[in-house]
Structure 1
Amino acid sequence: MTGLATVLFLGASLAIASPQAGSAGRTAQSARGNHHLGGPRGVVRSSQDFPIEGVMVQLISQKNSIRTTVYSNQLGQYEFPKLDAGQYTLRTPRPLEFRRYLKEAVPIDGATKLGDIVLERVSDSEFLPPTPDILSQISDAEWLYNLPGTGQEKKIFANVCGTGCHTYQMAFRSRFDERSWRLILKRMLGYGGRILVEPRDEAQPRNDLEDQEILVKWLSRVRGPEAQDAPFKVFPRPQGPATRAIITEYELPWLGVHVHDVNADPQGNMWFSINRSPFIGKLDPRTGKIASYRTPRTEGKHPGGHWIQVEKDGTVWYSETWAQNLIRFDPRAEKFHLMNTGVQGNMALSLTDGTIWRTAKGKINRFDRETGKPVEQYPMTKINNTYGNFISWDGRYFGGGNRDPEFDGVVLFDMVTKEVKEVPSPSGVAAPSRGSFDPDGNIWAGGRGGVLLKYDRKTGVASEYAAPTPYNTFYETRADKNGEVWAGEMRAGKIARFNPRTYQWIEYALPEPYSFDWQTYVDNSTDPVTVWYGDQYGYIVRIQPLE
């Protein structure tokens, strides 16, 4: 790592001394020596011949549509990993303040030297025109940052509309009067289960109704029939460590699918659940080949998977949301075993003893692997149900995140002593959701209120950590073998990497302006670790940090 930093520093000095040197003397020195690389390479520069750092450069295989993205460093250099020989599309997926670059049918074979990518600015100022092309690249956080309104109005919008299943593009690119916004919010908030068919049973608290009224007034003002978009100020491009990663996207061969969770089997295949569709899938990352397996039908219930996890022997476990089923799938025999649990959503599978856990109806429950019925129950006093459910690395502890108005925090259950701890979040508005334990047995949960929540098991202290990008929300988080914590920044279009020892954040920008990461999977067998998630919008993403 020291050698890498030295090369970058010396290279930066050369670039400053001779900005007109072009690409002849520039090589991808900063990337060499890394086992992930050795593929096509080139330089990104402006039309004024200055190198541009933090531009995403992407190659799309014409053979299997796999999209591979890397970033330019401070010398404008980029380098891909070794790719299969063939024809590719070369493009810049989110250039934002620069005009798009696109070149079809680019032949790739080994360490192909690519011609310079020369980019022209779309504006002479720091503000970007609100054209359809620019709007399609804007992250939800940038949308919210640029719209007029008070801090209260924007935070209410994020709390009400930023915790779930769609981008802000749907709302912010629409125009409705007050009556119409009121009807839309009534449907979105008064009906549940994502498909918005069944009305919610519970009555809404008075403060929620007051917040909704503020939200209706704000939306009708800033997204009313006569509302116009002003020029946009976008957030800075990636720099330094945030440019040292490879992003690979595997597009699924179906339209309208909503990936929920991913998990790896012992062979390195990625299994994924599909929310709102009656099947699960398997991706072979080496070839991009996708296989699908149809879930048996439950009469009268909307199909759709949620949580998924693979045991050490390759057995796949997953849950169905609306059918409230726990399903065991044997990939070798292609045999399903359905069990109705009476609960929906996320389960927790212990990889040490194979037990299955989940909170429900005020209790921590262990479920029978054959019947799906509770066989052990431990009462909670403050929490009725946690959205996230997870087991510690050693199999001793169960944890979960809860975001009810009455209690905002996490639960910790010791399976040996049977002690239950319900721990409130420091702010009371963290809205912890899904999460994991780190190797030291501490709980980490992604907060839909915009923070990562940690509960230190040894000190008994709960802490919150906010990412550098404003107006972001989290849905989940996953700790790796080194104790670093990974999470999708849903509204920022980034994957966050947080080091609790140094308090350092690295935010890897993604080729799409969102990160609908319902559950991060970390492959701890690689060095550095490899991070995966399945995006709500129909593709699977691999993040390979280079350090």
Structure 2
Amino acid sequence: MKRHLRKVAFLGILVSAGAGCQMGTVTGNPSVAPLSGRVQSASGESLGGVPLQARRPETNMAVVVYTNKQGEYAYPEDLSPGLYGVNIQVSGFQHVTKEGVNVTKGKPTRLDFSLEPATPPLSELTASEVLLALPGTDKIKAEAARCSNCHSLQFALGRKRDRATWLKTIEMMRGITPSGVMQAPEVVRPILQQTAKTNQELADFMAAVASPDSPPLPAKLLPRPTDDASTRITITEYFIPRGAVSVTLRGDTKGAWLHDVLPDGKGNIWYTDHFANVLGRLDPKSGEIKEFRYAHSKPGKQEGALQHTFDKQGNIWLGVLWQGTIGKFDPRTEKFNLWTIAEDARLGMVAMDSSGNAWAVSSPTSGVYKLDPKTGKFTKYPIPTQKGAYGMGIDSKDRVYFCEMEAGKIGRFDPKTEKFTEWDTPTPDSGPRRLDIDAQDRFWFGEFYAGKIGMFDPKTETIREWAIPGNPYAAPYDVAVDNKGNAVWANDFNNNRVYRFDVKTEKFTEFLLPEPNVEIRHLFVDDSTTPSTVWIPDYSPPGKILKLQAW
């Protein structure tokens, strides 16, 4: 298989995992921190929960710390010496960047900020903040939030249209897939018949809030988390050079759309791209990035992969979504092997069983698929509820679990008995999306439409749910288990937050991400580090990977 390689190397910012983090209220110790200071408003009010990003211009890496309730911040002691640009970008205030900040070893630098208030533009509001400020029922606002399948809600609201034009636009978008492909008229026609009433209601709503005569959209900012548990964090950002541009529409290949991330246990982080046949490797120590391109299996089908995983030999298996392909990459030889199914299946999610078989699920064909790599044979097992499947995983007994997002169900397939079992979530139409399985074989999942995380206990075959606090429009896309920390992490696709759920206390801790409108489709927890490390791909171009550690 022909392989294409792209390599980019950068100088790194070296920050060790545990640097200076024993101080209770700020990330580093101000008395010895190489860079510290205070952030306040122009009126002198201390501003807690504010992210400060320090980046050397010659690197593709940045380090972010947060202010405590007193507005104080301090960087870890081993922030490498050099000239930095320090940036603050927080909603409700003017953005500030101070260039040429000199960090010198053994000589602490003090840098204070005074922020001027500013009304944030629509592009800086999160979808949740927009929905909170708009009039209308929760039902119709939830329908408007589904614009995010193809583009942001903010993008849609930024285009003023009269009611007739809104209706025409809504009906057109019903026929477009999230990859930007217009479906055939015979496919679109029944969709429009099923959604006719909702389309009329949505056109009324959009015309009321985004017509040529509508007043400016109000801004209702969600409060920043300022308590110690939420601000004792360090985030390192790694910027991907390919597609380093901002784009609006899903599938625009001028941008990099990072979908999943996965540590290999050797210090590298591997990532997939939703709309490009690219498997990437990041060395977090140096910032070096290599990208490996794999072949197109089905001409005319969109490129891109979603989930990837390792087998016992250290090979990477990935689900190449629209091409109905499962791929294997050998990091030692840097070569790919690809297996493609003739059926028009979307095999974006993939997991390995203990015998070395690859398993995948497909939404449009509502099936669980097994690939035997030795024979190259695919076997399909049709899911009883024919509404598709998305997230999937395999437990220690080789049972395949999956999320049925549009059916409001979760499911399990036992390969030994070839039996399916399905369970309705306690909240109807909750939209189970992606999942993770803990050391006790409990199945955790995000409920995208219900704003909750769920847990299925195989011992009792019961489901429990917990609501994301403080945001009625939360949309948890994925969850990731921290077995060592007895916690589960979740993201909010409608808001620039991630959450840590303490399994013992059943309490959430909220963490603000460094920039507005960070969209996340995957989380991965590496609990071999102290503290555990959460790896986060920022889906929206320009692409970057976030490394989050909370103390």
TM range (shorter): 0.7 to 0.9
The amino acid of 2:141's aligned partner reads: K
Tell me the CA shift for residue 328 of structure 1.
0.9
Alignment root-mean-square deviation, CA: 2.7
Structure 2 equivalent of residue 4 of structure 1: none
Secondary structure of the 2:110 match is coil
2:231 is the alignment partner of 1:228? no
Normalised to the residue count of structure 1, the TM-score between the two structures is: 0.85
Structure 1 equivalent of residue 136 of structure 2: 149
The amino acid of 2:490's aligned partner reads: A
CA shift digits 1:352-396 (9 cap, x unpaired): 443321235455332112455324x5554334531111112x253
2:53 is the alignment partner of 1:66? no
The amino acid of 2:304's aligned partner reads: G
The aligned runs of 1:139-538 (5 Å cut-off) are: 139-158=126-145, 160-162=146-148, 164-199=149-184, 201=187, 203-204=190-191, 208-240=195-227, 241-255=229-243, 256-298=255-297, 299-341=299-341, 342=343, 343-350=345-352, 352-360=354-362, 361-370=365-374, 372-375=376-379, 378=381, 380-383=383-386, 385-392=388-395, 394-404=396-406, 407-415=407-415, 419-449=419-449, 450-468=451-469, 469-481=471-483, 482-538=485-541
Q: Residues 110 and 371 of structure 1: is their aligned pair in 2 closer, same or farther, counting only changes over 3 Å?
A: farther
Tell me the CA shift for residue 231 of structure 1.
4.5
- Once residues 111 and 144 of structure 1 are traced to their aligned partners in structure 2, the CA distance between those partners, rounded to angstroms, is 48
Instruction: Give unpaired runs (5+ residues) of structure 2.
Output: 1-21, 244-254
Q: Structure 1 stretches (4+) deviating beyond 6 angstroms? A: none
Q: Residues 238 and 155 of structure 1: is their aligned pair in 2 closer, same or farther, counting only changes over 3 Å?
A: same
- Once residues 356 and 28 of structure 2 are traced to their aligned partners in structure 1, the CA distance between those partners, rounded to angstroms, is 41
Instruction: Give unpaired runs (5+ residues) of structure 1.
Output: 1-26, 123-127
Tell me the CA shift for residue 285 of structure 1.
0.9
- Once residues 371 and 248 of structure 1 are traced to their aligned partners in structure 2, the CA distance between those partners, rounded to angstroms, is 43
The amino acid of 2:79's aligned partner reads: L
Secondary structure of the 1:180 match is helix
- Once residues 98 and 523 of structure 1 are traced to their aligned partners in structure 2, the CA distance between those partners, rounded to angstroms, is 34
CA shift digits 1:232-263 (9 cap, x unpaired): 23111112111111122211112211111111
The amino acid of 2:503's aligned partner reads: P
- Once residues 427 and 435 of structure 1 are traced to their aligned partners in structure 2, the CA distance between those partners, rounded to angstroms, is 17
Q: Sequence identity, in percent?
A: 27
Contact 2:525 2:535 (8 Å CA) reproduced: yes
CA shift digits 1:81-118 (9 cap, x unpaired): 33222221111121x23332210121223476343423
Q: Residues 65 and 156 of structure 1: is their aligned pair in 2 closer, same or farther, counting only changes over 3 Å?
A: same
- Once residues 136 and 527 of structure 2 are traced to their aligned partners in structure 1, the CA distance between those partners, rounded to angstroms, is 43
Normalised to the residue count of structure 2, the TM-score between the two structures is: 0.84
The amino acid of 2:138's aligned partner reads: G
The amino acid of 1:317's aligned partner reads: W
Tell me the CA shift for residue 302 of structure 1.
2.7
The amino acid of 2:336's aligned partner reads: F
Match of 1:107 among 96, 102, 127: 102
Structure 1 equivalent of residue 12 of structure 2: none
Q: Residues 29 and 206 of structure 1: is their aligned pair in 2 closer, same or farther, counting only changes over 3 Å?
A: same
- Once residues 271 and 423 of structure 2 are traced to their aligned partners in structure 1, the CA distance between those partners, rounded to angstroms, is 32
Query: Which segment is superposed worse, 109-118 or 442-451?
Result: 109-118
2:137 is the alignment partner of 1:136? no
Match of 1:79 among 74, 84, 102: 74
Tell me the CA shift for residue 399 of structure 1.
0.7
Contact 1:44 1:72 (8 Å CA) reproduced: yes
Tell me the CA shift for residue 196 of structure 1.
2.3
Query: Which segment is superposed worse, 259-268 or 360-369?
Result: 360-369
Quick one: higher RCO (CA 8 Å, sep 6+), 1 or 2?
Answer: 2
Secondary structure of the 1:169 match is helix
Secondary structure of the 2:195 match is helix
The amino acid of 2:499's aligned partner reads: A
- Once residues 85 and 188 of structure 1 are traced to their aligned partners in structure 2, the CA distance between those partners, rounded to angstroms, is 51
- Once residues 47 and 183 of structure 1 are traced to their aligned partners in structure 2, the CA distance between those partners, rounded to angstroms, is 46
